[in-house]
Amino acid sequence: MANETKTHWKKLQHPDYIGAYELMDGTPNKELTVTITKVAREQITGADGKKEECTVCYLHGQKPMILNSTNQKVMQKLFDSPYIEDWAGKKMTLYVARVKASGDTVDALRVRPTAPKLPELTPTHEKWQGAMTALKAGNTTIDAIRKNYILSSENEKLLTA
């Protein structure tokens, strides 16, 4: 059963925030590219009922992520801004790293220090027709498409023809 999906035991506890275990389904070196919707300072309640002020990063289509200082420093460099308001709409890739914490080695959710690789938009891509329609209707621009896709000059000509 090479394609068997596995369930990490921490997923069964139904946490409100994304953690390293979300990427641990038995697939080696699994990564997740996400888009930030907003980042804010909030009071959260931990599994032990303790309340704490944390920086929370909201992700499109995912659970929110509590940001530690390590990930915030990576995000500042990645997005070329120390201001959390500038991070909304940005993409980043999450991965699992083994780190030392409290004298133990644990799995931690980390932000890759490089921009995620964008998919290429080609005539065979499932979003091609939608992009073409949105361009013709004036609902998007080539620049907006380039924020989410790699677009060759040949394919740009096809889209705008």
Average of per-residue pLDDT values in the chain: 88
* Mean pLDDT along residues 131-148: 91
Other C-beta atoms closer than 10 Å to the C-beta of 29 total 7
For residue 13, the model assigns a pLDDT of: 54
Q: How far apart are the first and last CA of the chain?
A: 47
Of 16, 10, 13, 73, the C-alpha closest to 44 is: 16
Residue 94 and residue 60 in contact, taking contact as beta carbons nearer than 8 Å = no
- Tell me the pLDDT tens digit for each residue of 77-126: 999 999 999 999 999 999 999 999 889 998 899 999 999 988 899 999 99
* Mean pLDDT along residues 139-147: 89
Give the type of residue at 103. Answer: G
